[in-house]
């Protein structure tokens, strides 16, 4: 599959995520309340440093995929939701050159992380329907 076809295939998903609301709610569930099944990892990770992402709303995310690409560990600093180096483990997979991960074990919120090339999107959807997302890029 050529690069243009890959990009065209991934664009609808990225466009849908980009359309999410970016207004931060006034109360934020703590991701550390996540049950042990997604707060402790049994996946193997290499010793390389996590990739640093700079995001909208002055957010920063450090992301590291497991060796088998079935899990990602994030460390998120997001001022609008009052997170400072909040660790989150998400499960998912890679399809082509796009990685999608989700953590829905917290009854208060669902977390999603999507990566493609040097870009990433982190989204939170609360149980009351409110949504928040940041668009990220490696480095910057």
Instruction: Report pLDDT digits (tens) over 74-101.
Output: 999 999 999 999 999 999 999 999 999 9
Report pLDDT digits (tens) over 11-43: 444 443 444 444 444 445 555 554 434 455 567
Give the Cβ contact number of residue 3 at 10 Å.
8
In words, the CATH class of domain 3-138 is mainly beta
Domains of the chain, by residue range, sit at 3-138
The percentage of residues in the chain with a pLDDT greater than 70, rounded to a whole number, is 69
């Amino acid at each position: 599959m050529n690069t243009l076809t890959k990009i065209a295939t991934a664009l609808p998903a990225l466009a849908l995520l980009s359309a999410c609301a970016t207004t931060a709610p006034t109360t934020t569930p703590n991701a550390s309340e996540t049950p042990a099944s997604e707060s402790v990892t049994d996946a193997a990770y290499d010793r390389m440093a996590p990739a640093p992402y700079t995001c909208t709303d002055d957010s920063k995310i450090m992301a590291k995929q497991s060796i088998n690409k079935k899990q990602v560990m994030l460390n998120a600093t997001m001022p609008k939701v009052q997170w400072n180096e909040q660790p989150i483990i998400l499960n998912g997979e890679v399809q082509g050159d796009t990685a999608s991960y989700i953590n829905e074990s917290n009854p208060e919120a669902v977390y999603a992380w999507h990566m493609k090339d040097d870009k990433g999107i982190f989204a939170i959807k609360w149980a009351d329907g409110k949504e928040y997302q940041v668009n990220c890029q490696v480095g910057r």
